[in-house]
Structure 1
Amino acid sequence: MNPPHGFEMDRIKAEIADSFDEELEMEIDESRLESLLDEMSEHPEQAQLDRRIYFRELFRLQHELVRLQEWVQYKGLKVVVLFEGRDSAGKGGAIKRITQRLNPRVCRVAALPAPSERERTQWYFQRYVAHLPAAGEIVLFDRSWYNRAGVERVMGFCDEGDVEEFFRSVPEFERMLVRSGIVLLKYWFSITDDEQQFRFNMRIHDPLKQWKLSPMDVESRRRWEDYTRAKEAMLEHTHIPEAPWWVVEAVDKKRARLNCIAHLLEQIPYEDVPRAPVVLPDRVRNSDYIRQPVPEELYVPDAF
């Protein structure tokens, strides 16, 4: 017998609410962080985006990302999106919101660690090439080959000859990617000196976020101007018509996420994918099947 309509609607509403919980949990976590340091005078006064507007627009854009994902699969597109910016600029938060409702088999994140001894002897781009997409895939690089123009240069992990060769090579490398059919998008998340200091202080004071603050991050604060000069040189040498840079104003995290996603969607024309209606078949029931009970010791204890 079918359950009452009201009961069914309650279940549907509960399921929809549950699907939003991940974003709500992240939002609560960020609010908790901000409340830890509300009393700090360094906290810049900002006109924060209204939460209701933020959630409404985020869910709308995420729905469009699902449509884009289906179009990428349907047309066999190959999409690469690079996310660069200073430490704590909000790259990871934007990537989380992009991937949150997408199929990880279609859209994946490449966040490469420091190169191994063997990788240091390879062609510089070689370890990144291994993560490029096949047809029907989207790859988001949480930092990319532009490490050479940023952290490696500023921290002395390469010499100026390596940097000059990188600036000669990267425009041709990216033109080659585009000629091969890859859609290449490059985003730089921009924050102010004061905002980075504030976000680092939040990490210092929050035990759940302290792991995010590495010795390299701490050193990057001292070298703010060196990173600025490196960024300016990077943009000058690698902003090309085939793969231009796009700067995301990221002091307001919520606006930055929405602006980045909206812009990304505008760069790849997409349409609804034709599909046949899905009809669930009746379950097969065999009269000789008897379900065996699960031993009690296999259950996770009910702690809640």
Structure 2
Amino acid sequence: MGKTGSTGKSAGKKKTSSKAKNPKPKKIPDDIYEAELFRLQTEFVKLQEWVKETRARVVVVFEGRDAAGKGGTIKRITEYLSPRVVRVAALPAPTDRERGQWYYQRYIAHLPAPGEITLFDRSWYNRAGVEKVMGFCTPQEHSLFLRQTPVFEQMILDDGILLRKYWFSVSDGEQLRRFRSRLGDPVRQWKLSPMDLESVYRWEDYSRAKDEMMVHTDTPNSPWYIVESDVKKHARLNMMSHLLSTIAYTDVEKPRVELPERPIDTGTYRRPSREISTYVPNHVAELMGDIET
């Protein structure tokens, strides 16, 4: 007992070895990241075609802290997919009418039809997070949500919809760093709102709310998958790879398409004069002119 507890020097050594066990992960090289990202995106195209062919229905819930990387991952997933098949549901604050509805009602309207995938960029779990912490719902409404959600999700599963839920976990220091980087970025300033700043000041409140949510809604039939997202590129690849691994999709045979060697010209079409149409100004030519001078 004396050996474990005694000097400040020993304690210092112990602390150092503890840090060594959890080093900051080495970032994936850009070339490997890009190659693997494209491979996974190719697999998502195959998944899309399988969903269309089999008329499957897939729902993926993206939740987590503000600035945890949910939106960036969704963008990489959907980059080469058809918006007619893969839809992103990012609902605004509810209207007065929607506030009077059954809580899940407005989310149900976005569930996929046969042959579709819906990606929820935040979802009904708003009630377990921001609504709970910021007082936008009553304690009774929050308690009811925790009781009803496992039942609601079981109904979704029983109807044959494939449901996957991902929680993007980011540390407080990394979240603050990302917020600061948005302050001076003209194309990302819109991502920073007073509500985002509340997530910094109320970090522990959000942590407690998340822990309580997990206790009630991390069920065997509808589990939560945690995505460590302090390194965005790692989070994207890890989440995308895992999602694909949970669905038993297969290659779908595509119809052969044959193209002629050149456009068919019958000689009977005459293009109208350019003067009768309004064309977009050649902005690029102006830029090139500036470069040349």
Do Structure 1 and Structure 2 share a fold, with TM-score over 0.5? yes
Q: Is 1:237–2:216 an aligned residue pair? A: yes
Cα distance in 2 between the residues matched to 1:60 and 1:284 = 36
The DSSP-based 3-state class of the residue aligned with 1:217 is helix
Distance 2:151 2:71 in 1: 28
1:55 pairs, out of 1, 20, 34, with: 34
1:275 aligns with 2:254: yes
The question of 1:126 aligning with 2:102 is answered no
Q: Secondary structure at the match of 1:298?
A: coil
Q: Which moved more, 1:47-56 or 1:202-211?
A: 202-211
Residue 152, structure 1, aligned to residue 131, structure 2: yes
Give 5+ residue unaligned stretches, structure 1.
Answer: 1-43
For residue 49 of structure 2, the aligned residue among 70, 79, 85 is 70
* Aligned 1:77-226 pairs, distance under 5 A: 77-226=56-205
Runs of 4+ in structure 1 deviating by more than 6 angstroms, as ranges, are none
Q: Distance in 2 between matches of 1:117 and 1:143?
A: 20
CA distance in 1, matches of 2:42, 2:276: 41
Shift of 1:301: 1.9
**What is the letter of the counterpart of residue 301 of structure 1?**
P
The whole-number CA distance in structure 2 between the counterparts of 1:80 and 1:289 is 48
Deviation at 1:288, TM superposition (A): 3.0
Distance in structure 1 (CA, Å) of the matches to 2:215 and 2:93: 25
* AA at the equivalent of 2:99: R
Please give the secondary structure, in 2, of the residue aligned with 1:229: helix
* Letter paired with 1:289: Y
Q: Distance in 1 between matches of 2:110 and 2:75?
A: 19
Structure 1 stretch displaced more, 273-282 or 241-250: 273-282
Bigger CA radius of gyration: 2
Tell me the amino acid that sits aligned with residue 189 of structure 2. Answer: Q
Tell whether 2:275 aligns with 1:295: yes
Amino acid at match of 1:212: K
SS in 1 for 2:274: coil
Shift of 1:283: 5.2
2-structure distance, mates of 1:275, 1:199: 43
For 1:254 and 1:295, the matched residues in 2 are separated by 50
Deviation at 1:290, TM superposition (A): 1.4
Q: Distance in 2 between matches of 1:230 and 1:106?
A: 34
- Following superposition, the deviation at residue 175 of structure 1 comes to 0.3
RMSD of aligned residue pairs (Cα, Å): 1.6
Cα drift, residue 297 of structure 1: 6.5
TM-score w.r.t. structure 1 length? 0.83
2:41 partner letter: Q
% same residue: 57
> 2:233 & 2:264 partners in 1: Cα distance?
48
Structure 1 residue 300: Cα displacement: 1.8
Task: Give the deviation of 1:80 after TM superposition.
Answer: 0.2
TM-score by length of 2: 0.86
In 2, Cα distance between equivalents of 1:168 and 1:280: 57
Quote the offset at 1:87 in angstroms: 0.5
Q: AA paired with 1:99?
A: T
Residue segments in structure 2 that go unaligned for 5+ positions in a row: 1-22, 285-293
Q: Distance in 2 between matches of 1:274 and 1:48?
A: 37
CA distance in 2, matches of 1:288, 1:60: 45
User: 1: distance between equivalents of 2:179 and 2:276?
Assistant: 48
Aligned equivalents of 2:72, 2:254: Cα separation in 1? 32
Deviation at 1:296, TM superposition (A): 7.6
